[in-house]
A and B are shown apart, each in its own frame.
Chain A
């Protein structure tokens, strides 16, 4: 069992001294519960405090206030080594003058473990990571992916209660990143360890996490499973941050509120019923005449000659399977960068529509398009979401349910 609990963690940095000292709050009261064997990903834009939060968990920084509990024990005043954690750094932070084997066994050596036992543990970790033939090499002689594996191996050897990963894949090339992503997922299943992972890459977050923690400006915006964040974002920030390309936003007016949803008027004058509740989570009710923000993901927009929206194609990105159309809207709404053919009176941002790979639109075409009202989102002026009436069926799915081992286990259970 290894669990982590954060209670109202605050981190302040003080710059200057004496009367001119100014305090910056970078973590503004974070509460979090990490369960045993969970893979939790901290994600957020740069400067959101995700790395600071992880460093506080690791013990490399002190929390200004709040409690850090590991397995129920308060760890605030305990040094990084005694917390029983292991961290993998973005720069790998391998010791350049030691061989791979010495790097991995360093913590055991400091702990006074005998040479034979050390070799045994290092070999076991090397086995898991296929590092066996590299044990006598220096880090300099390794490729980026191998260094990454050594850094992970160094963590495994310590047999920590919780693994911490600080953007471990951001120095690797795209192909290697995919490979390491899968390898990390495999390791997580194999080691059955609790892992906390910091990244700014939402693909890593979506693919690996059991639970994603979205941070912005030192505040937790939402905690939930990847599908929950995608289908039921708590607010406009999470909606815009999760999903690629970004969600499109449009200001609209409420014309009707009923039990089966909220009716809104679109720019072309037509009305649509969006199946969402009429109350935000803080209890504010939506009434007729309110102006709201409509959010639609690019993949939920579709080409439709009778659709309520129109736009001019500015940029086309063809990926084969899907095609992204960057559209300049007549009213200049949307915030996707479209650049392209813009003239002075046009806005330089617009909507993105993800269409089928075989769509034959060309740059400069004017097209009409519609959207899937079932999957549209509504946000209040304050940015809070009106939750969809229908919970998406996959929201409680964790990553473990996607892996082969648990699928076969489930089959066995059924048989």
Chain B
């Protein structure tokens, strides 16, 4: 069938759908590292991030999305992290952020 271009398309809804998202994986991650819930969104991890200096890698947004059950593309995105650990040095809540990168990657291997 020929594609007819009407000049507009259908966009996927951007909203985080907490009713249909699979929250089991995020629940597993939080259960293994409850300190993740103590994040206050200060952005220190992103501000100090080596990968974030060169790319649009944003660890704060990524792990917040994971906690809401949004996993798509997270594994690939986390591969930008070089595990330098600067984020862990600055986190005011003492979250083992480097360990968290590894934990999320381990749990989301299939995403």
Chains A and B come from one and the same complex: no
Give A residues with C-beta under 8 Å from B: none
